[in-house]
């Protein structure tokens, strides 16, 4: 994944590393989220967009929303697994 990130233009790579460090400090443990960010950045490069256009004015909020969405996905999965387990009994 890091090799893929290093292929980004410098400004996108720096943004990726900054977001990654922030997310690690906030407790991000699911690597899928970083793949999603890389994909978003790669598409933005193809479209000729800048990191600022992709991330908006508040990069921390952008990162927090990704973390929140990711936690909600896992929370829903675990809830469904729990309910499915007891539905079988």
Q: What is the CATH number of the domain that holds 70?
A: 1.10.1900.10
Average pLDDT value over all residues in the chain: 85
For 17, 25, 32, 37, 56, the CA distances from 73, given in Å and listed in that order, are 24, 20, 12, 16, 23
More confident residue, 9 or 73: 9
Q: Are 48 and 77 in contact (CB under 8 A)?
A: no
pLDDT digits (tens, 9 = 90+) for 22-46: 998 887 767 888 988 999 999 999 9
Task: Please answer whether residues 51 and 15 qualify as being in contact, where contact means their C-beta atoms are separated by less than 8 angstroms.
Answer: yes
Domains identified in the chain, total number:
1
Residue-range definition of the domain harbouring residue 73 = 2-87
Percent of the chain exceeding pLDDT 70 equals 84
């Amino acid at each position: 994944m890091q090799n893929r990130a290093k292929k980004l233009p410098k400004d996108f790579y720096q943004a990726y590393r900054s977001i990654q460090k922030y997310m690690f400090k906030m407790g991000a443990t699911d690597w899928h989220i970083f793949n999603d960010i890389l994909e978003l950045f790669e598409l933005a490069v193809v479209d000729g967009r800048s990191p600022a256009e992709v991330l908006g004015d508040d990069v921390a909020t952008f990162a927090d929303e990704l973390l929140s969405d990711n936690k909600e996905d896992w929370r829903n999965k675990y809830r469904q697994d729990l309910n499915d387990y007891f539905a079988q009994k």
